[in-house]
Structure 1
Amino acid sequence: MKPTTRGTLAAVVTGVAAVIGAAAVTPAVAAGSVPVPVPLDGVERGLNLPVPDIAGELPVPMPGSPEGPRYVEGRLLPDRAVPQLPVSAGLPGADVRTALPHVLGDGFDHLGLDAPAADLAALTPGLSLDAPLTAPNPAQLGMPDPKLPQVAVLTPLLKTVPEADLGMGAGA
């Protein structure tokens, strides 16, 4: 095999391996949440007591694109001077398991709480303004009429459905 052919073959194999490796590894931002383990092994060994197993999930907020200003006939300024920004993320999740010394009898030797991360959709506050003048009035040679200025604060919005499961049972 010629050295040129070997070099080309090596470059192709290296490129294919890089593409496969990049496809297999996904960044943390592509995931909706990041797992957060709580290491308590040192406490368990130091105190010689069983400690609960604790793990959590932290959401990664993802901003969306804002809805632009809307122009309304008869107003000098657009309807939403400061648009609301949509943000999608989630509420943090938790998973806690701890051993019970048969407090409630046989078959109840652990207590567990499972609260998975819940989706959260939010809109930031916005602002809508209107000028103290009307549109040009043809009856007054194009001069606008005065009027009271208008200001409206667009309230923020939160939408989520959190859930949790608390249970006792046998096993760890």
Structure 2
Amino acid sequence: MKPTTRGTLAAVITGVAATVGAAAPAAASGTVPVPVPLGGASRSLGMEVPRVGAELPLLKPGAPDGPRYVSGRLVPDRTLPQLPVSSGLPGLDARAPLPRPLGDGFDHVDVDSPTGDLRALTPGLSLDAPLTAPAGRDSGLPGARIPQVGVLPPVVHTVADGNVGTGPGR
């Protein structure tokens, strides 16, 4: 194997190992931190720049509540069940400099919005066939009736929280 091929293969294996090593803690905590690297811009411009970071939640699907069989119906209730999903709202942590109108220096404005719990149910479908259950009359044949269709609406439960503040200095 050539040295360049060996070096390329080593770089690929190192990248895959770093990606797998970084993904394990994120999956355990339920959020993925997203830093915005602005340190180089601060050094190159010679001034203070905003500091921004975020957290993105990972979706966790749950087990659906299966169809329910009801006597007198040919098709079970909740034919297409709602799927529960739990996650979180994205978090934000930002700090930006504000120049003082009179004098030298900067004040700061901070925005902090931590991740919050989010529980949701996807839409579902409930329908009934246009036939009745077989009865003892009419030679055991089912009768005709108007078909019924119902849409189960999506549901979202969450509480958002955030803080905005200003202050002096670094």
Which interval holds the TM-score relative to the shorter structure? 0.7 to 0.9
Which residue does the alignment assign to 2:57? 59
Task: Using structure 2 for the length normalisation, give the TM-score.
Answer: 0.79
Q: Per-residue CA shift, 1:51-91, capped at 9, x if unaligned? A: 11101000011000000000111110000111111010011
Which residue does the alignment assign to 1:37? 35
Q: Per-residue CA shift, 1:15-62, capped at 9, x if unaligned? A: xxxxxxxxxxx6321212111110011222233231111010000110
Q: CA–CA distance in 2 between the matches of 1:129 and 1:159?
A: 26
Which residue does the alignment assign to 1:167? 165
Which structure would you say has the larger Rg? Answer: 1
Counting only pairs closer than 5 Å after superposition, residues 107-146 of structure 1 correspond to structure 2 as 109-146=107-144
The count of residues paired between Structure 1 and Structure 2 equals 147
Q: 1:50 aligns with which of 45, 48, 51?
A: 48
* Secondary structure of residue in 1 paired with 2:99: coil
Which stretches in structure 2 are left out of the alignment for 5+ residues? Answer: 1-23
Which stretches in structure 1 are left out of the alignment for 5+ residues? Answer: 1-25
Task: Using structure 1 for the length normalisation, give the TM-score.
Answer: 0.78
Q: Per-residue CA shift, 1:90-146, capped at 9, x if unaligned? A: 11110001222334899x821100011111111111111110000112122211110
* Secondary structure of residue in 2 paired with 1:129: strand
Q: 1:93 aligns with which of 68, 91, 94?
A: 91
Q: CA–CA distance in 1 between the matches of 2:84 and 2:103?
A: 50
Which residue does the alignment assign to 2:150? 152
Q: CA–CA distance in 2 between the matches of 1:69 and 1:157?
A: 18
Matched, 1:102 2:100: yes
Q: CA–CA distance in 1 between the matches of 2:40 and 2:146?
A: 68
CA-atom RMSD in angstroms: 2.1
Q: CA–CA distance in 2 between the matches of 1:154 and 1:45?
A: 55
Q: Describe the shift of the 1:48–1:94 C-alpha distance in structure 2 as closer, same or farther (beyond 3 A).
A: same
* Secondary structure of residue in 2 paired with 1:35: strand
Paired AA for residue 119 in structure 2: A
